């Protein structure tokens, strides 16, 4: 296969690599973070991502030949690394349903200086944690929207129990996939009452809990502004019982506002894309399951890199195509969100990852 034969050689084109690493978009934002969706499939049907009424029986997922191979993903990752990408997050769908994912992790882990992490719903993590660590995965983020089984099962819509996700988190901690982050999407009328129990539990457990405002990603989740629980409201809820103080970000472009407990017992994060947009510092690109490059989570179209791979393009040609896309990037959806943009036919989150 062409994609395998033309693997990236870091020493092959140093001038091109150095030039590419300095690419910036129209707002001066570099390309630092890459999220790779390894599958468009998931074993959950979360109401804010893959609602059952849309992604139920009869829905057509991508065929195997449409999906990037591990070799193709790794090749693109190496090229993007030379553009300045320092961090790769594997996503889905649910990434752990992709067969032999550990082999991809091993391949990506060979890229020098790369921060390699993964986001999962935790359903398969108990068995997968140690093999993923052995393959070279460094850290992990687990999505969990409540500790209450009734609430959690209403959110995942497949009857999956909280206890098995918690067992997966314990397995990840034992394997050394730390620090572990736990993501909770908060939707008014469904799980806002779970905010404090989640904060108490993960404060004791020593893991970083991050609250995510319910977002208008994709075109099928029926998003409404009145279902958003603002980050400021969540902070007030927690601070009233467990006093918090704001702390600086770990790095430029960090999506979560960090708050630590004043007694030094840990921290929480608030991802407030709706009420406190962070577009101006966004350094993230997304690679879809079938090889399209997206420059925003709220994008309406992508740029086909798979076609270049399978047509025999060289690494330099692909690198220049990526640079051309990034140089004209002007995305700032969350800053300009309006009734018109909310109604646009955006790409589903399960297709390009969260």
Domain 2-352 carries which CATH code? Answer: 3.20.20.70
What b/e readout covers 111-131, taking b as 16+ CB neighbours within 10 angstroms? Answer: beebebbbbbbbbbbbebbee
**For 253-264, what is the mean pLDDT?**
90
Closest CA to 146 of 106, 117, 186: 186
What are the C-alpha distances in Å from 80 to residues 20, 139, 184, 255, 275? 9, 20, 30, 21, 31
Q: According to the model, what pLDDT value does residue 318 have?
A: 98
Q: Are 33 and 326 in contact (CB under 8 A)?
A: no
Q: Are 308 and 345 in contact (CB under 8 A)?
A: no
What are the C-alpha distances in Å from 135 to residues 92, 131, 275? 19, 6, 38
Residues 5-32 have pLDDT tens digits of: 333 343 334 344 444 457 999 999 999 9
Q: According to the model, what pLDDT value does residue 155 have?
A: 87
Q: Are 42 and 97 in contact (CB under 8 A)?
A: yes
Q: What is the pTM of this model?
A: 0.87
CA distance 87 to 36: 11
Residues 262-312 have pLDDT tens digits of: 999 999 999 987 777 667 888 999 999 999 999 988 787 899 999 999 999
Q: Where are the beta strands (DSSP E) in the chain?
A: 33-37, 87-91, 115-120, 139-143, 181-186, 208-213, 244-247, 257-261, 267-271, 284-287, 292-294, 303-304
């Amino acid at each position: 296969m062409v994609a395998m034969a033309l693997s990236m050689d870091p020493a092959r084109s140093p001038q091109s690599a150095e030039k590419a690493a300095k690419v910036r978009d129209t707002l001066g934002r570099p390309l630092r973070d890459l999220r790779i969706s390894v599958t468009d499939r998931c074993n959950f049907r979360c109401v804010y991502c893959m609602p059952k009424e849309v992604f139920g029986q009869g829905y057509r997922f991508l065929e195997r030949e449409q999906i990037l191979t591990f070799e193709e993903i790794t090749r693109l990752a190496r090229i993007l690394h030379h553009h300045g990408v320092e961090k790769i997050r594997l996503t889905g769908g649910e990434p752990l349903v992709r067969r032999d994912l550990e082999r991809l992790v091993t391949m990506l882990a060979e890229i020098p200086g790369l921060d390699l992490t993964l986001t999962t719903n935790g359903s398969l993590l108990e068995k997968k944690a140690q093999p993923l660590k052995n393959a070279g995965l460094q850290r992990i983020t687990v999505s969990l929207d409540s500790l209450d089984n009734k609430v959690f099962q209403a959110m995942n819509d497949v009857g999956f129990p909280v206890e098995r996700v918690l067992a997966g988190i314990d397995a990840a901690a034992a394997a050394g996939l730390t620090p572990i982050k736990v993501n909770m999407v908060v939707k008014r009328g469904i799980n806002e009452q779970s905010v404090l129990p989640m904060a108490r539990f993960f404060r004791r457990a020593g893991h970083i809990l991050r609250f995510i405002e319910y977002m208008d990603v994709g075109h099928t989740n029926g998003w409404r502004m009145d279902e958003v629980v603002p980050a400021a409201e969540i902070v007030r809820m927690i601070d009233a019982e467990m006093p918090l103080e704001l702390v600086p970000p770990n790095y430029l472009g960090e999506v979560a506002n960090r708050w630590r407990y004043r007694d030094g017992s840990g921290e929480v994060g608030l991802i407030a894309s709706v009420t406190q947009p962070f577009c101006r510092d966004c350094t993230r690109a997304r690679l879809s399951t079938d090889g399209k490059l997206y420059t925003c989570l709220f994008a309406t179209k992508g740029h086909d890199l798979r076609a270049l791979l399978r047509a025999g393009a060289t690494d330099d040609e692909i690198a220049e195509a990526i640079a051309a896309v990034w140089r004209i990037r002007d995305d700032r959806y969350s800053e300009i969100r309006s009734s018109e943009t909310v109604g646009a036919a955006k790409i589903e989150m399960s297709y390009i990852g969260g």
